[in-house]
Structure 1
Amino acid sequence: MAKHDILGYFEHRSDGAWVCVRPFTLTTRNASIDIRQGQRFDYGKRVGGLDLAEYLEQLGSQFGS
């Protein structure tokens, strides 16, 4: 999966949060984490050592969200 493909698993909400719309497994340098549909990620919430909302925002800026 290309790194920007992760955007297809999330919806960016108007309040700035990212919400998972379909389950997948996130693999980082530190861990593999099952992300469930409906999970919400706000800035500062770290998952597997990664601020997922910030990462998704960066990808969205580069590739469109």
Structure 2
Amino acid sequence: MDRHEILNYFEHRRDGAWVCTRPVTLTTARESVAIRPGARFDYGKKVGGIDLAEYLERLGSQFGS
């Protein structure tokens, strides 16, 4: 999966959080993490060593999501 395709698995909420909409496995330099639908990610919450909300926000602004 191209890195921007991860955006297809999350929804950006008005309050700034990102919520998983379907199962996905996030693979980082540290580990692979299975993320289930409904999991919420706010800024500062790290997954696999990355701030997932910040990462998704950056991808969204790069790829128009």
In which range does the TM-score fall when normalised by the shorter chain? over 0.9
**Normalising by structure 1, what TM-score?**
0.98
State the 4+ residue runs in structure 1 displaced beyond 2 angstroms.
Answer: none
**Percentage of matched positions with identical amino acids:** 74
User: Which blocks of at least 5 consecutive residues in structure 2 are unaligned?
Assistant: none
The corresponding residue for 1:2 is 2
Structure 1 position 30, deviation (Å): 0.2
Q: Could you tell me the TM-score, scaled by structure 2's length?
A: 0.98
Counterparts of 2:25 and 2:3, CA distance in 1: 13
Q: How many correspondences in the alignment? A: 65
